[in-house]
Amino acid sequence: MKSTLFFWQALSFLNRLLLPRMSRRASLIGLKKWEQGIVGWRMWVTYRLLDAQNDQGPAA
């Protein structure tokens, strides 16, 4: 399970480094299709990371 958590942490870190931040925009309504794809990808990775952290149990 730790390898799964490490994978999602690494992928999340790469997302923060390489992908643009859409939260700086005033409104997310007018995004282009590729920008919507980036937002969706980042959300999906974040949810998987949170699931992996939740599977680990309480922090020691």
Domain limits for position 51: 2-56
Residues 6+ apart with CB under 8 A from 58: none
Our count of domains for the chain comes to: 1
- pTM of the full predicted structure? 0.79
pLDDT tens-place values along the chain, 60 residues long:
678 899 999 999 999 999 888 777 778 788 889 988 999 999 999 999 999 999 887 765
Contact 4, 51 (CB under 8 A): no
